[in-house]
Amino acid sequence: MKILSSVSIRKSLLIAFITLAILPVIFVNSVLSWKNISFQQGQAVRNQQEIAKRVSIIIRSTIGNIKYKLFSVSSQNNLLNIPQEELKTLLSKTMHIGDDIHKDAINSIALVSESGMEVLKVSRTEIYTSSNSRNLSTSDEYRMPYTTGLEFVSNVYIDKETGEPLVILALPVKEPASGLIIGVLVAEIRIAFMWDIITSIQIGKAGAAYILDSKGRVLAYRDPSLILKKTILKMPPKTGLGKGLLGENSVTASEQLRISNQIYYVVVELPASETFEHLSLDIMSIVSFLMLSLTGSISLWLIVSKRIIKPIEALSHTAGMIESGDFSLKSHIFRKDEIGRLAVTFNKMTDRLTTTINSQKVHIENYEKANKNLEEKSRQLEELNRHFHIEMNVRKKAEYQSAQINHLAALGLMTTAIVRRTESHSEAIVETVKTLSKQIDPDSAAAISVASLLRTSENTLNTLQVIMALGNSDNGVRQPAAISEIISECVHICETFMGNDIHIYLTIPNNLPDIMLQPQLVRLVILNLLCNADKFLDESPGNANFDRTINIQASEIQQEGKLLLKLVFIYSDLTPRSQITEDILFPFSGNTAKNIFDDIWLNIIKSIMSDLGGTLNIEKSKTGSSIINMELPAFKHLNTR
């Protein structure tokens, strides 16, 4: 099936048609021919056997007649005592009288006496005289008849003088009265008549008859050269199809012919080709039928090929061309049958496909054009966007800066007012506390509280002074600043104010990016985170001294493509307050604007951070520490320090 699937329909059909044409004819005719062969062979054998029988009858009859003539002589009374001339006449008459065959058949007759000596001989060619007399006493032709009383026939021999085949036929001469053998009549018989009989028989066109002796030697055949060559065939002659004198394939039939002591076989042979001549005709008929069948099959195949395969191939070719991209090809089948309709549909389909493809091409072209336009527009839009963003950024920045400036200005004013008011209050408080502390027993518990209060007041006053100083020094111009320097400065200030109550550890790499801002604001934030952390961080329970440790870690980070400077303030033993209470804002308590300033530090810091474009958040670690994360926009300054 796999093989068939790979064979083209055209070949498959051809094979199928030829097989259908040949196989039945061959099968039927083989059976018929086989029967025919058997019949014809049998018929030929019967016919040939009949011929062989007839030939043997003719030969037997001829020899019989000759024997009869000789017997009529041998049985005469007193044959040996008949006078020579009379005997000669008798023998001559015996030799010459008769029809053509019998008369010519006897070549010579000799009367042999009891002693084996020739008494008289008459011959067709020789003159016999007493001096020619032979002694035959030791020869078979004398001994056999004489001893057995039976006639004797010698083997066939060729006369060297005449080249003729001869046999000797010898009959005993008996005394009629006593039956005693008194001599032998020896006749030389020319058996050329057998040749003539064999030659005269027409057996088919190429058939032949021949006579074999008991040893298989050919005695008579139309080609005497075979006889002269002493050709010997296998004995006994086979009946039926086999090897013969004519060749390997002959149909032979034979008939045994017994003449006295000799056995001959008359064989009639016909070449198998002739025997089965009708079979040849049958084969010719078969071949003719086969040719007709083949012609029919091939015609049918041609028609089918023409009507079906070729159009399909044309369609296939067209489809192939279309598949390879050539839509110009059309199927040129103008018929009204199924294939014609298929071709028309195919052409329509091709047309439609062509139209669709063409429209698709137009669409693609349009799409490509649109794409290009879009790209161009996008590019322009991007350009515009970029410009827009730049403008927006510039504008935003400007607006922002303006708002910041305004805000800072307002804040500054407000802060200045607060600070001024607070400063005077703080100075008053400090003075009051100082006075109070002088009045209180320095060893009393109140003294500790007063001392603490004094310290706080002084811190607050310092802070306010710092803020005032900062506010006075801030000119609102932003500039690159190194955070490490700011932190160091803030730490220094804080340590100056806080003394031993604070322990600050710095982890700050050298090559941190710079920040672009007003350094004072940052300094303010950091300073507040260091010095006033307790304003928004809850002091650790049990640590009333506010003896705190602050770790400051600085690093640069990338976030969403932006370079940020990250500052982490880790406060040990401090947690963020749940809320900013009045207690915390102790320095400002008693002020009517108390609520206004709730969370003021945190809000100020957050506001500053926001203004700086950074963030600030507070979280609590697992160990109870507070962590303040600060992130500020940074940049790598060309002259990074």
Cα–Cα–Cα angle for 187, 189, 193, nearest 5°? 160
Q: How far is the CB of 190 from other proteins (least distance, A)?
A: 9
Could you say which of 287, 342, 344, 446 contacts other proteins (CB under 8 A)? Answer: 287
Among 481, 478, 551, which residue's Cα sits nearest to residue 512?
Answer: 481
Choices 97-105, 108-116, 377-385, 554-562 (CB under 8 A): range interacting with other proteins? 97-105
Residues 108-137, interacting with other proteins (CB under 8 A): 123-127, 129
Q: How far is the CB of 261 from other proteins (least distance, A)?
A: 26
Q: How far is the CB of 231 from other proteins (least distance, A)?
A: 11
Assess 366 for contact with other proteins (CB under 8 A): no
The secondary structure element, H or E, covering residue 559 is: strand 548-559
DSSP 499: G
Q: How far is the CB of 13 from other proteins (least distance, A)?
A: 16
User: Contact 61/101 with Cβ under 8 angstroms?
Assistant: no
492-513 in b/e form (b: 16+ CB < 10 A) is: ebbbebbeeebebeeebeeebb
- CB nearer to other proteins: pick between 123 and 139: 123
Assess 231 for contact with other proteins (CB under 8 A): no
Could you identify the residue written with the tokens 């640069």?
A: 556
Residues 6+ apart with CB under 8 A from 551: 504, 505, 507, 568, 569, 570, 572
373: number of Cβ within 10 Å: 10
Q: How far apart, in whole angstroms, are the C-alpha atoms of residue 112 and residue 170?
A: 10
Q: What are phi and psi of 399, to 5 degrees?
A: -65, -45
- Give the distance from CA 442 to its chain's centroid: 109
Q: How far is the CB of 243 from other proteins (least distance, A)?
A: 20
- CB nearer to other proteins: pick between 299 and 358: 299
Q: How far apart, in whole angstroms, are the C-alpha atoms of residue 437 and residue 450?
A: 6
Q: How far apart, in whole angstroms, are the C-alpha atoms of residue 283 and residue 273?
A: 12
Assess 97 for contact with other proteins (CB under 8 A): yes
Could you say which of 2, 5, 81, 161 contacts other proteins (CB under 8 A)? Answer: 161
Q: How far is the CB of 33 from other proteins (least distance, A)?
A: 17
- CB nearer to other proteins: pick between 132 and 640: 132
Q: How far apart, in whole angstroms, are the C-alpha atoms of residue 631 and residue 227?
A: 140
Q: How far apart, in whole angstroms, are the C-alpha atoms of residue 526 and residue 618?
A: 14
Count residues near other proteins (CB under 8 A). Answer: 41
Could you say which of 58, 104, 114, 586 contacts other proteins (CB under 8 A)? Answer: 104
Choices 181-189, 224-232, 373-381, 544-552 (CB under 8 A): range interacting with other proteins? 224-232
Q: How far apart, in whole angstroms, are the C-alpha atoms of residue 555 and residue 395?
A: 31
447: number of Cβ within 10 Å: 16
Choices 64-72, 88-96, 249-257, 393-401 (CB under 8 A): range interacting with other proteins? 88-96
Among 436, 460, 461, which residue's Cα sits nearest to residue 449?
Answer: 436
Q: How far is the CB of 211 from other proteins (least distance, A)?
A: 16
- CB nearer to other proteins: pick between 225 and 439: 225
541: cis peptide before it, omega within 30°? Answer: no
Could you say which of 23, 28, 303, 544 contacts other proteins (CB under 8 A)? Answer: 303
Could you identify the residue written with the tokens 């406060």?
A: 571
Could you say which of 174, 222, 278, 606 contacts other proteins (CB under 8 A)? Answer: 222
DSSP 217: B
Q: How far apart, in whole angstroms, are the C-alpha atoms of residue 341 and residue 361?
A: 29
Assess 96 for contact with other proteins (CB under 8 A): yes
One-letter identity of residue 293: S
- CB nearer to other proteins: pick between 224 and 340: 224
- Give the distance from CA 265 to its chain's centroid: 73
Assess 302 for contact with other proteins (CB under 8 A): yes
Q: How far is the CB of 224 from other proteins (least distance, A)?
A: 5
- CB nearer to other proteins: pick between 58 and 411: 58
Assess 232 for contact with other proteins (CB under 8 A): no
Residue count (the chain)? 641
Could you say which of 8, 30, 72, 295 contacts other proteins (CB under 8 A)? Answer: 295
Could you say which of 19, 72, 148, 162 contacts other proteins (CB under 8 A)? Answer: 162
- CB nearer to other proteins: pick between 226 and 580: 226
| Backbone CA torsion sign across 568, 572, 575, 580 | negative
- CB nearer to other proteins: pick between 300 and 508: 300
Residues 172-211, interacting with other proteins (CB under 8 A): 192, 196, 199, 205
Could you say which of 16, 23, 180, 228 contacts other proteins (CB under 8 A)? Answer: 228
- CB nearer to other proteins: pick between 206 and 596: 206
263: number of Cβ within 10 Å: 14
Assess 288 for contact with other proteins (CB under 8 A): yes
Could you say which of 2, 6, 160, 639 contacts other proteins (CB under 8 A)? Answer: 160
Could you say which of 5, 6, 225, 500 contacts other proteins (CB under 8 A)? Answer: 225
Q: How far is the CB of 88 from other proteins (least distance, A)?
A: 9
Please give the structure tokens belonging to residue 93.
């008459």
Assess 308 for contact with other proteins (CB under 8 A): no
Q: How far is the CB of 96 from other proteins (least distance, A)?
A: 4
Choices 290-298, 315-323, 410-418, 568-576 (CB under 8 A): range interacting with other proteins? 290-298
- CB nearer to other proteins: pick between 294 and 508: 294
Assess 589 for contact with other proteins (CB under 8 A): no
Which class for 575: exposed (0-12), middle (13-18), buried (19 or more C-beta within 10 A)? middle
| Backbone CA torsion sign across 633, 637, 640, 641 | negative
Q: How far is the CB of 20 from other proteins (least distance, A)?
A: 17
User: Contact 210/245 with Cβ under 8 angstroms?
Assistant: yes
Residues 488-527, interacting with other proteins (CB under 8 A): none
Q: How far apart, in whole angstroms, are the C-alpha atoms of residue 83 and residue 120?
A: 10
Please give the structure tokens belonging to residue 553.
């870690």
Could you identify the residue written with the tokens 């015609």?
A: 299
- CB nearer to other proteins: pick between 164 and 547: 164
Give the footprint of other proteins on this chain (CB under 8 A): 89, 92-93, 96-97, 103-104, 123-127, 129, 158, 160-164, 192, 196, 199, 205, 222-226, 228, 280, 284, 287-288, 291-292, 295, 298-299, 302-303, 306
